[in-house]
Each structure stands twice: as C-alpha cells, then as structure tokens.
Amino acid sequence: MEVALAQCQALDSQSSGTNHSVKFSKEKFWLEPPSETQRKQLEEELKLSGTNLKSHAWYHGHIPWEVSESLVLNHGDFLIRDSQSSQGDFVLTSHWEQKTLHFLIRKSVVQSSETYTRVRYSLEGEAFDSLPALVHFYVGSRAVLTRWSGAQIHRPVNRTLPLSYLETAFCTAVSTASVAPSPALSRRSDTTQSTQPSPNSTLHRQYNNISQPHLNQDSPSSETDGSCYTELYPGPQSYVERLRVEEVSVGVDPLRVEDGNVHFSPVVETVSSFKPSRYQSPLMPKENKPLEVGILRRVKELLAEIDPRTAAKHITKADCMVARILEVTPEVQRMMGVHSGMELLTLPHGQQLRLDLLERFQTMAIMLAVDVLGCTGTTEERAGLLHKIIQIAAELKSTMGNMFGFAAVMRALELPQVSRLEQTWMALRQRHTEGAILYEKTLRPFMKSLNDGRESCPLSNTTFPHVLPLLSLLEKSVAVGEGTEPWETVEVGVDVVMFHLGAARTIAQLGGIYRSNAESKLQGFQEQAEVLELFLTDFQMRLLWGSRGATENQALRYSKFDQVLTALSNKLEPPVRSQ
C-alpha cells in the first residue's frame, strides 16, 4: 500500500508509551544568511556531478518535516528530503492548493540480469532510474503526483545551506523501535538527538514554553530537551530592522561596534553608476552626435568579426560587473551592506542598482535593434545578422547561463520594429532554417516560460538569474517593454507575482554560487577591449543618444528613440497601406 503522508498543518509528535505533544511553530523557525564558509561549501556541493544527489539544490537532506513545511510556501513549491520514519527512503514535500503534502517515494529493486540489479523510484505510476529523472518528469510534464491528491510540482525550493551543515545541525536520529506501523495519511514521530549550537550558529533554538517529548531508554541521547532545531529563536534584530533604526539615527558614525563585531551602515546610492558624459573611448570622439555613421560602421565590423560564443562571453562579463556578481571588492561589499548585488537588488536601498539594470536592459536591446534596422544592405544580409543575434541569445541561455543578457537580446528580436520585417524573417527561414526553428520552437517559448514562472535555468549553470520580472515589479515606474506583463492577466496574475517574489528570496541567498559559476565559465577568457566596449552601457548610451542626449530624461530618451526605430523599420520595409 502506498504510504503517502499528506497533512496541511503540523500534528503533534507522539512517542511510544506516554503521549507528550511537541507543538511546532513556523514563526519560531528562522535562518540567518549563510556564512561565507557555508556559501563556499554549498557551491562545492552544487558543482558535483549531476549523478550525485548533493549537486541538486532541491535536495535538502535530513531536515525534519516541520522544517520542510516552513520552506514550501507557494502553490507548486516542492523539495526532496530524507524520510525520518523510513531510513534510506526519500520524501517529496510540496505545497498544493493551500495544503502541504508529503509523498513517500517508493524504491524498488529490478533484476536486470543474473548479476546486475538497479533501483527504480516511483510515486504512483511510472518508475525512474534516479530521483533527478523523477523530478524532471513531474516538473516538465505537469503530471499529477498521485490520482488522489491531484497535486503537481512546479518550482523547486533550493537549499541555501550546505548538506554537511544541515546534517550536523539537525542531527536527527530515527528510532523506529518507538513507532508502530501507521496507515496512510498519518505522520510518524522521530526520537531526536540534540546538539547545543554555538551563540553564533546559523540556526537558533527555543527552549522556553515548549513541551518536550518523552525519550525512551533506547534513545541514543540521554538529554531531555529532545528538540532538534525545530523550535527556534526569533533573531534579536533582523538586518532590515537594523537598517530602519539606523535610518532614524542622526549623526551616527557609519562604523559601529556591536557585541565586539564591527558593522558598517550601508550606503544608500542615489546616483547611477553609468556616466556617459564622462565616458572616453577610442571608438568615438570626446563629443559625438546620436548614431554617427562612422561609429556605427565600426560597431558592425566588430560584431561581424566575433563568433556568437565570444560575444556571449563579453556580454556576460559586462552584465555581471554591472550587477556586482563579479569583482566585488570588500569595500563595495561594506558599502552595499551585503556580499552580492543579487542580494542588494532585493533590498530597499538597492533601488539604484535595480534602475541601472533596467537601463542596461533597455539600452542593450535598442542597440542590437539598431544594428539590424541600420543594415541597409540586402534582405539576405539582414537575415544573416538576425541569425547571428539568435545564436548569441542561444549561447547566453545555454552556454553562459546568463538569463539577464538572454532576455535583453530576446527583447531586441521581439521589438515591434524588428518583428514586423516580414521579408527579413522570411529570408531567415529560407536561408537559415535551423536558426529560425531555434528561435520559434525553443528560445521564444523558453522566454515566455521564464516570465510566467514556469521554467528556470538550472542553478549549476546560472551566472545571472532571470531578475527582470522582479525589477519590473519593484520599479513599476520604469517601463521595460510594451504590452501586458504576465502578472497583469487575471488568470495567472497572483501566482506569477508570488513566484517571482519567492524567487527573489532564493536569488538573494545564492550570489556566491552565481559568482562561482561566472568565474568558472569565464576562466581563461581573454577579453578584447574594443569588443567589450560594444556591450558597455556607457558606450551604448553615447552611441544611441550622443554625448549630450545621453544625459537627458530617461522617458524622453526612450520615447524619441522609439520614433527613430519606427522610421528605420518603415524605411527598410514600407508599411502596406490599406486601400
């Protein structure tokens, strides 16, 4: 009989003999951001071979079921953990229709030959050779986990602490002797072994006002508290609370000492990191006009000389520098108050970084569009340029794992002034069929799934996650495109918003992993100074708006250039006038 553990609220644990309840409060469970050592340990785990379960961030090891329920908060969230009641087995914990569900994953041994056996994993129907294969199937197909539950899994909840730490912290010892076999839909208790954490431990424990479970004499621990980091202290003061206190403190020295540790008040940036008026480049004079022919010609020559992968590496390097994923000095970290720009952009004082990233996104898309629309040669030449830009998008997505750069390039291709060029797209389909298929069948659907929250790039391959929806949500005053955003539709609006806000929480914790991935993918990369300049936002702003226009009001700049793009597009392929 299938053992499926399904409950929507925490039930009292029960040990053999006398019943003693332990009530678990999710509000008492909290995690501080991982230390730098723990970040590095997590990075090493996630770099392991895909055949190693530790390399998958959705695997949380031996965490208690109470903790797993505090992690899967949104509709479709899921994680995999070790079973507490059946050693060696795994449990899929998910959130579906406002309920938390626990499914025991069944293991079966298949005799493939006289000397070879293999383990298969299943929930109810099809069996799989590995847990990753099972997860990929149910996420990708949206198949129900079991007929009785009707539940699906959409988004993994990634761990932010290394398994080596979690195993030590939770130190859960399963005592099957104290648990009688239970029917489906019931939860079994575990006898736990406690470990006293240090004052600076990432996980904190609460002892007061908690009824402790009875430990039988066979328990591996003779201690009487019995808790295993499932009842935890709220922190003394959160980072955001500390910021609020410091905001109202007038004349406080930014260098502060608390409990013997030195703390720096973060700097609230109000000026863009882009300085086009001061920018100097060998590719353009000290002062230039918008879209100067000589500069445009050199840009086209450089783009023609490099292959798509090289272009993708230069874009990724520039993206990660602006986003403060790469080459973040200790001084910049002190200024930000956090380790990575990925964490900063989720915080109130990260607004300027969010605005800079939106500026970079728009400017990159417009420059690539100009490259296409400014190609006054034959239709076939424009089709070849389209094909190269599609290849760059594919390299950003698959090779570099740069979802930000990928979204910007896709935005250029989807601009109405580019997408309306019917003759150019027809030539692409005829002369570069594989590129047209790649764009229509793979890249566009993937882009839509990213925006809808239905798909994501594997963490082990990601250098820059898909933050554009989050930026758009937090900075609604800055438009990043035309048309309805995916969260503005009645059918899926709330779910999409909740997904992207939930993803922000994970992204903020994984800056070290993105940095490590970027450093790995750019290892040995010899950048070309002139090529890198093409993808610097300062250079692009000067190219598009000139030395004077680059400093104008942003909305005015975009509005004017939209008219320029429309004029260029209509010149290439005049609109058909209705009779």
Q: Tens of pLDDT along 428-440?
A: 999 999 999 999 9
Residue ranges, comma separated, of all CATH 3.30.505.10 domains in the chain are 29-170
Distance (Å, whole) CA 164 – CA 168? 7
Assigned token pair, 191: 């006898």
**Could you tell me which residues come within 8 angstroms of residue 321 by beta carbon, excluding any fewer than 6 positions away?**
327
pLDDT band for position 60 (cuts 50, 70, 90): very high
- Amino acid type, 499: F
**Percentage with pLDDT > 70 across the chain:** 74
Q: Residue 23's pLDDT is what?
A: 36
Distance (Å, whole) CA 320 – CA 294? 29
Q: Is the pLDDT of residue 176 over 80?
A: no
Q: Residue 500's pLDDT is what?
A: 84
Q: Is the pLDDT of residue 566 over 90?
A: yes
The DSSP symbol for 54 reads G
Closest CA to 549 of 293, 558, 318: 558
Q: Residue 464's pLDDT is what?
A: 96
Q: Is 407 exposed, middle or buried (0-12, 13-18, 19+ CB in 10 A)?
A: buried
Secondary structure of 132-194 in the HEC alphabet?
HHHHHHHHHHCCCCCCCCCCCCCEECCCCCCHHHHHHHHCCCCCHHHCCCCCCCCCCCCCCCC
Q: Is the dihedral of CA 371, 377, 380, 381 positive or negative?
A: negative
pLDDT band for position 243 (cuts 50, 70, 90): very low
Instruction: Please report, in angstroms and rounded to a whole number, the separation of the first and last CA atoms in the chain.
Output: 71
Pick 250 or 150 by higher pLDDT: 150
Distance (Å, whole) CA 152 – CA 145? 6
Residue ranges, comma separated, of all CATH 1.10.840.10 domains in the chain are 293-572
| pTM for the predicted model, two decimal places | 0.63
Q: Is the pLDDT of residue 424 over 90?
A: yes
CB 135 within 8 A of CB 33: no
User: Under CATH, what is the fold of the domain 29-170?
Assistant: SHC Adaptor Protein (3.30.505)
Q: Is the pLDDT of residue 294 over 50?
A: yes
Q: Which of 211-225, 394-408, 496-510 has the lowest mean pLDDT?
A: 211-225
pLDDT band for position 172 (cuts 50, 70, 90): very low
Q: Residue 148's pLDDT is what?
A: 87
Q: Residue 456's pLDDT is what?
A: 76
Range from 15-19, 179-183, 317-321 that averages highest in pLDDT: 317-321
Please, what is the average pLDDT of the chain?
78
pLDDT digits (tens, 9 = 90+) for 350-374: 999 999 999 999 999 999 999 999 8
* Assigned CATH for 293-572: 1.10.840.10
Q: Which of 36-50, 325-339, 490-504, 514-528 has the lowest mean pLDDT?
A: 490-504
Distance (Å, whole) CA 340 – CA 335? 11
Q: Is the pLDDT of residue 529 over 70?
A: yes
Q: Is the pLDDT of residue 38 over 80?
A: yes
SS3 breakdown of the chain: % helix, strand, coil, rounded to 5?
Answer: 45, 10, 45
